[in-house]
Structure 1
Amino acid sequence: MSKANTHIIFDLGNVLIDIHPEATMEALAASCEGNPEEIRRFFLSPAHLSYMTGEIDSAAYYRAFCEQHRCTLDFAGFS
């Protein structure tokens, strides 16, 4: 008898869902202090890694982003 699968691994970005990171960074830059390149660097930051690994939640990630870029988007607009 074989064991039942307990985990599923999949690649979401540009495999199951089309994503457009450049457009996202340009839109964020339009609502925040900083240019798209500065926004791009945030996505390589320790805060982003902490968010991607579940160490911080969406609200903490939003606060970290806004503190660094003085973003005028509310949480709903950021999400």
Structure 2
Amino acid sequence: MTVEQLATLATFGSVWAVLAVGHNLADHVFGQSDHQAANKGAPTTEDVAAGASPRRGWAAWDGAVHHAFETVSAIVIAR
């Protein structure tokens, strides 16, 4: 294994670890509300046939993403 390959693996591993921790903190600690988590799933085929929008969960997902982004941004700016 060359030094370049080892550096690539080390970079990938460290970036993956940081992103995994960030994702878990954002989803499970302070990034999304229980309401957002419960409502961001797609509707079932039966729900859509009954008149529900096929994009029903998008607003909750968008809210969770924006909340997490704002929280992380506030932490970074505060440092």
Instruction: Tell me the TM-score normalized by structure 1.
Output: 0.28
Larger radius of gyration: 2
| Structure with higher RCO (Cα < 8 A, 6+ apart) | 2
Q: Per residue, is there more helix in 1 or in 2?
A: 2
